[in-house]
Structure 1
Amino acid sequence: MAVRVFIDSVDSYAGKVVSKLISNSVPGATLADIDDASEGSQADYNRNESKENTYEVIGTLKVEGAKKPNWVKEIVSESKQEDLFSALKSCDIIVYNISEDPSLVDQASWAVSALHAEIESFTRMKTFICISNAMTWARTRPIDLDDPEVPFTEDDYRRRKPHQNYKAEISLEKLVVKLGKTNKELFSTFIIMSGMLYGCGESLFHYLFKAAWLNHPYLQCYGNGQNVIPTIHVKDLASIILNVMDGNPRVKYIIAVDDSQSTLEEIVRAVSINLGSGKVKNVTKEEAISDKNIEKADFDKLLVSLRMESTTAKDLNVEWVAETGLVDNIEGVIREYKEERKLFPLRMFVFGPPAVGKSTIVEQLCKHYKLHHIKMTEVIQDAISELERSAARADIENEDEEDDQRAQEDQELLEALQENREQNNGRYDDQFVVRFFRQKLKSMPCQNQGFIIDGYPKLYSQAQELFASEEDEDDTEENLPEYDASIMPEFIISLDASDDFLKNRVINLPEKEVHGSHNTEEGLKNKHYYTGLIRRLARYRAENTEDETVLNYFDELEIHPEHFDVTDDDSPKALNTVKAIIKLIGEPRNYGPTAEELEEIKRREEEERELREAQEKIEREEKEAREAEERAIRQTEWKQRLDEVRKQEKELIDTRSIPLRNYLMKHVMPTLSEGLIECCKSRPDDPVDFLAEYLLQNNPVID
């Protein structure tokens, strides 16, 4: 019958590691000697293959609707308490981790109390394990005031005093210990007090690793940095939990910390030196509180100062990943961090003839992938500037001997560079250029994010010297030349175009685009003279024949160049070529937007939308007002014109009606008046007919 284990929040930072290790472990495997404990050991953590007779893991999700981890058999909803309790009762071991999420304290308290109330119905022993953290010890007084470096052990757990924000956690610890004493044969409880977790992508210390990886000028150390932080690798915590599940030890309160007694400053400095600039800046607590990159709860954890020693863990069969602590194992921890976060450097080399558009394309690729653009002129300028700054310290007294020696060496190198440049018509020998390039490519920013080299090396021999291995490489494949894998590009992009195309492109470039560029060498005046391009293009073709080209160097290493013909790319800034290269390379390998950044992007988009709508509304209202005003003006004009037309028509009608009126008054009206008088006198039956007959008989004859 499978041993069922309930683990809360299997999708959380620690929950993923703990649940994965347990799901790949055979019950009781840790009870054997380390040499014999091959199954279920820490070494099996990263194996995904299923094994028989392993622990069966069920659990809850921290993020509702998140994908179920492959190694978890079943997910239970926290919202349905009846279903959750039924799942708890079906499990032999229940693990609640309150060290990461304080909101789980109430649920863990309910779970242990509800299970304890059902002890009589248990058919076999159940184990309840609560993972707490060092904040429940935060205000504990030193064991020996005269010797504050004496560490706390499990024997001192009754003396512990919690941080003011962790009183609920210590109450839960006491409840768990108390309920475990009622019936030890059926219900066994444990408290595992975890040190501050690190490893596997980081959680508490993630702000440090991220800032270092993103090349911040320095890492912040809160306060004076002399506080000792109890720590443990998250895999080592998982291994201790597994041992407790298997062995049911006599000690019910277990401290899970590594052997380090590292201060905050030591941790910050180790991360900065091995992943960042190597610089550390102490900031006050007031400045730290305003830092949006860290939560208030994490800030409290970073300021805790406790010396602790795990005596029980030493008796367990723990295969330690980082027994000596974070600082001593920083290289492995950084490697885990990059692997878990998928932060792999992307290294490229873009090659092609002059004027083909290398820099334009590289700039867009660097922006898309957040890489460093490596250009020869900038590499040399930066190296010379750094040498000048270093050499300037040579004349300063009271410097330490090592720093003074380096300043002297840099001064001598500057002098050699100056002499070399004068002898080579303003150019430097390849040995110096290669040296500066290697320094740049070996720098932490290039090693973290990656880089795109723009146009150098130009020759096979330069590539050999630049990428040559400084040490014997055991990992290089047989019969392949040795090279430095840390700076070797993994993508070789060759931009191709005909000479006629390049000449036409340059001669048709706007003046502002060619001013100050290589294309103005020896005078590109009014787009008619381009001898600089002709000379450079001829040299490029001579140096890159079919049999002799720098691309052959990469081909021999089986890093085969990808060719892109830009002749038919008439898109702005060669956008079509850029898209084709992006399709070849794939997705970026760096930090995407964080939740805060996504929120900020969403907020900015919303503000821009509201601003755009407000602007459109104003423009619409202004347009409607203008149209209304124009309509009013037109209506006024139309009314005036209509009145004028009517007036003119009336005057015309009046003018044209005068002769007719005169005629009627002289010849018609007298006879008509007489006829009407006679009609009134006679009163005929048909007045109209009478009047018509009268007018006919008395019609005046006009000559």
Structure 2
Amino acid sequence: NISESATQQQVEEATWVLTALHNEMLSFTSQKLFILVSTVMTWAMTKPQNPDETDVLVSEEQFIRRRPHPAFRKHHSLEKLVLNLKKSKLAGYVVASGLQYGKGEDLFHYFFKVSWLMEFPKVPIFGHGTNYIPTIHVSDLGGVIQNIIQLRPRPKYIVAIDNSRNTLEDIVQMISHALGPEEIQKLPPQEAIVMKAFKPEELECLGINLRLETFIINDFFNLSWTSEAGMVENMDNIVQEYKDAWQLLPIRILLLGPPAVGKTTLAGKLCHHYRLHQIKLKEVLEEKIAQLEIVNGPNPENISQEIMTAAQTQLGNIHKSMKENQGRLVDRLLFEIVEEKLNSKPCKNQGFVLDGFPKTYEQAKMIFSDVNVDEDAGKEDLALMSKAPAYKQAIAPEYVFALDASDDFLTRRVQGLPENVAEKMRYTQDEFVPRLTKHRQLSGAEETVCDYFDQIEIHPLHIDDPEYTDIMKMITRVVGPPKNYGLSPEEQEEQDQKKEEERRQKRSAEAAERKLRNEAVLAEMAAQYEDWQKNLSEVTRQESEQLEVQALPLRNYLMKYVMPSLTEAMVKCSEIKPEDPVDFLVFKKNPFQQNYLC
């Protein structure tokens, strides 16, 4: 496979493989088949035979006339090597593949990603976008290769493209419509490099302008097409394949609980962790009114008269309802706005966290049930709703968490808030107590909002922890890991820097700890040495005393029997001064015939 995403090294490796097989061909006991999956970029510079006929398709039969893009000349050379295999023991086929799509995308991945993330109000397209791009689904390309293996067709050069005639603008517009903001914006090609959207070689592929006519795969092959009509006509299936391949699954969470229990704070943390959208009724309503006012403004952009009329009617109904109900919107209009928000592209792509709404069984039923009932609904519709277990799976939450705490705990929490915060969050004494009382009444009703979700087999997880220890960890363990692209390059770089800083601090802390341990060991050794010296002195003293005690009887004997005679003999010796004092003291007798020592 040396199609559009292959590197020059892979092309060189394929050339080496072909050369090695050719050199060993005589030793083959049976025929070998070499299939080179190349790219239509080897046709990129091919012009019609008649330059004046710009609308004429280039036929597959004219492959000898093909002219490659300068960056794909090695591909072209390798194609010719394969086509020159004439020996019976090594057969070669070249498959010129259109730009591939499906099963996760490669070249078109950027457009899918920015559309899914809704990073821009308009999906950027680089260049004029009017160029025709030959494409093929990867599954259909696999089918072409399978047919070559099974049928061994006579033509050795096969163009593998679908039957579409789509421009780059057509493709990106449809991606944006299916996944993103539904609008595109044309930018100069160099902006793609600045924005790090594409590499130069990828831009060259997207810039191909070629309309090919193929007949081999249509007339001779038995293909079970996945996307015969091309990307634009099969975008819904391709988008689903893309989501499945990247595991881009929306996470829908509902948080319930009394006021001041921490729903909004927890919702914010969950949205940050999972990259979800926090749905708060007040903000949703304000956002919708602002959108309607823009549509009804003096200079709306590209908006039909029909849409403007509908927006004006809806805005009028909202203002009228709020005026008649002391600033509150009737449930029917409110539910329409909430459902529209839950069905919006961001919520359908990434998911959402519903912050404390719906509050009652009836509200949950009206929003998520498959049967829409307004305020004037009859008993027949209500009976139908009560029997129908079906619900709107596309917008219903997958996980419901019911938080709770004692009234005393909630009251103490509210009393500890600054006055300006309490007023902003409607936690003043006059507002908080009625809200808490109403919540307790709704929780004690015959049918509660949790009962509704139990009925549709989405069982709420009740969390009653006054201190709220490890709630985030508990919920993320239930919900699982994030199901999105993960961190952006900037966020990844920031996280890497943070981890590096943490590692540096950890190393510094470990070094400081080692230093403290060493100092403690040295201090302990010094103290032990000092104790040893003291003990040694004491032992020496005790040994001296012991020796003195042991030597006392001998000393007494010497002083009584030896020292008197020895002293007298020494005196005589000093008087006489004999030549041999030792002999004199030991063996000689004094003039008085006395032995001095014996």
TM-score normalised by structure 2 residue count: 0.79
**Number of equivalenced pairs:** 495
CA distance in 1, matches of 2:28, 2:60: 30
Give per-residue Cα distances to partners, 1:136-185, cap 9 Å, x unaligned: 1111112332332322232111111111111111011111111x21x1x2
Letter in 2 for 1:453: L
Deviation at 1:512, TM superposition (A): 4.8
Match of 1:392, SS state, is: coil
Q: Partner of 1:211 in structure 2?
A: 114
Assess if the C-alpha contact under 8 Å between 2:3 and 2:97 holds in 1: no
CA distance in 1, matches of 2:482, 2:450: 25
Using CA pairs under 8 Å that are at least 6 residues apart, name the structure with larger relative contact order, 1 or 2: 2
2:391 to 455, 474, 483: 483
Assess if the C-alpha contact under 8 Å between 2:4 and 2:205 holds in 1: no
Deviation at 1:599, TM superposition (A): 5.2
Q: Partner of 1:509 in structure 2?
A: 417
2:268 to 352, 363, 374: 363
Give per-residue Cα distances to partners, 1:447-503, cap 9 Å, x unaligned: 0000000011111111111113269xxxxxx96522211101110110011222211
Deviation at 1:318, TM superposition (A): 1.0
Deviation at 1:288, TM superposition (A): 2.5
Alpha-carbon spacing, 1:435–1:238, altered in 2? closer, same or farther (3 Å): same
CA distance in 2, matches of 1:203, 1:489: 32
Q: Partner of 2:175 in structure 1?
A: 271
Letter in 2 for 1:213: W
* Alignment of 1:143 onto 2:49: yes
Match of 1:485, SS state, is: coil
Q: Partner of 1:189 in structure 2?
A: 92
Which piece of structure 1 moves more, 555-564 or 143-152? 143-152
* Alignment of 1:243 onto 2:157: no
2:14 to 86, 105, 108: 108
Q: Partner of 2:318 in structure 1?
A: 417
Letter in 2 for 1:329: N
* Alignment of 1:442 onto 2:323: no
Alpha-carbon spacing, 1:122–1:264, altered in 2? closer, same or farther (3 Å): same
Match of 2:424, SS state, is: coil
Alpha-carbon spacing, 1:463–1:503, altered in 2? closer, same or farther (3 Å): same
Alpha-carbon spacing, 1:138–1:438, altered in 2? closer, same or farther (3 Å): same
Aligned 1:603-682 pairs, distance under 5 A: none
Alpha-carbon spacing, 1:603–1:193, altered in 2? closer, same or farther (3 Å): farther
CA distance in 1, matches of 2:31, 2:93: 14
Tell me, which stretches of 5 or more residues in structure 2 are unaligned? 373-385, 513-598
CA distance in 2, matches of 1:98, 1:416: 57
Aligned 1:676-691 pairs, distance under 5 A: none
Aligned 1:34-53 pairs, distance under 5 A: none
CA distance in 1, matches of 2:357, 2:503: 45
Assess if the C-alpha contact under 8 Å between 2:361 and 2:452 holds in 1: yes
Q: Partner of 2:587 in structure 1?
A: none
Deviation at 1:404, TM superposition (A): 1.4
* Alignment of 1:538 onto 2:444: no
Match of 1:519, SS state, is: coil
Q: Partner of 2:406 in structure 1?
A: 498
* Alignment of 1:547 onto 2:446: yes
CA distance in 2, matches of 1:309, 1:568: 70
Q: Partner of 1:321 in structure 2?
A: 226
* Alignment of 1:202 onto 2:101: no
Alpha-carbon spacing, 1:508–1:457, altered in 2? closer, same or farther (3 Å): same
Tell me, which stretches of 5 or more residues in structure 1 are unaligned? 1-95, 472-477, 521-529, 621-703
Aligned 1:170-189 pairs, distance under 5 A: 170-178=76-84, 180-181=85-86, 183=87, 185-189=88-92
Letter in 1 for 2:447: E
CA distance in 1, matches of 2:497, 2:72: 34
Q: Partner of 2:166 in structure 1?
A: 262
Give per-residue Cα distances to partners, 1:408-427, cap 9 Å, x unaligned: 22222222222211111111
Match of 1:172, SS state, is: helix
Alpha-carbon spacing, 1:387–1:491, altered in 2? closer, same or farther (3 Å): same
Assess if the C-alpha contact under 8 Å between 1:99 and 1:131 holds in 2: no
* Alignment of 1:162 onto 2:65: no
Which piece of structure 1 moves more, 596-605 or 316-325? 596-605
Letter in 1 for 2:336: R
CA distance in 1, matches of 2:244, 2:314: 39
* Alignment of 1:592 onto 2:486: yes
Match of 2:354, SS state, is: strand
Q: Partner of 1:408 in structure 2?
A: 309
CA distance in 2, matches of 1:431, 1:347: 22
Runs of 4+ in 1 over 4 A off after TM superposition: 594-597, 603-610
RMSD, aligned α-carbons: 2.5
Assess if the C-alpha contact under 8 Å between 1:143 and 1:150 holds in 2: no
CA distance in 2, matches of 1:193, 1:271: 25
Match of 1:461, SS state, is: helix
Alpha-carbon spacing, 1:603–1:170, altered in 2? closer, same or farther (3 Å): farther
Deviation at 1:385, TM superposition (A): 0.5
Deviation at 1:406, TM superposition (A): 1.8
Letter in 2 for 1:465: M
Aligned 1:315-464 pairs, distance under 5 A: 315-393=220-298, 403-464=304-365
Assess if the C-alpha contact under 8 Å between 1:222 and 1:303 holds in 2: no
Assess if the C-alpha contact under 8 Å between 2:129 and 2:169 holds in 1: yes
Alpha-carbon spacing, 1:313–1:485, altered in 2? closer, same or farther (3 Å): same
Q: Partner of 1:134 in structure 2?
A: 40
Deviation at 1:607, TM superposition (A): 8.0
CA distance in 2, matches of 1:464, 1:201: 37
Alpha-carbon spacing, 1:162–1:470, altered in 2? closer, same or farther (3 Å): farther
Give per-residue Cα distances to partners, 1:629-655, cap 9 Å, x unaligned: xxxxxxxxxxxxxxxxxxxxxxxxxxx
Letter in 2 for 1:582: T
Assess if the C-alpha contact under 8 Å between 1:470 and 1:484 holds in 2: no
Letter in 2 for 1:147: E
Assess if the C-alpha contact under 8 Å between 1:240 and 1:256 holds in 2: yes
Alpha-carbon spacing, 1:503–1:558, altered in 2? closer, same or farther (3 Å): same
Using the aligned pairs only, state the percent identity.
39
Assess if the C-alpha contact under 8 Å between 1:480 and 1:557 holds in 2: no
CA distance in 2, matches of 1:132, 1:118: 24
Give per-residue Cα distances to partners, 1:583-632, cap 9 Å, x unaligned: 1111111112367864564357658988x89x99xxx9xxxxxxxxxxxx
Match of 1:493, SS state, is: strand
Match of 1:209, SS state, is: helix
Deviation at 1:508, TM superposition (A): 2.2
CA distance in 2, matches of 1:552, 1:139: 66
Larger CA Rg, structure 1 vs 2 = 2
Letter in 2 for 1:501: F
TM-score normalised by structure 1 residue count: 0.67
Aligned 1:5-84 pairs, distance under 5 A: none
Alpha-carbon spacing, 1:450–1:148, altered in 2? closer, same or farther (3 Å): same
Letter in 2 for 1:462: Q
Assess if the C-alpha contact under 8 Å between 1:129 and 1:190 holds in 2: yes
* Alignment of 1:563 onto 2:458: no
Letter in 1 for 2:482: P
Deviation at 1:301, TM superposition (A): 0.5
Match of 1:140, SS state, is: coil
Letter in 2 for 1:454: D
Alpha-carbon spacing, 1:596–1:240, altered in 2? closer, same or farther (3 Å): farther
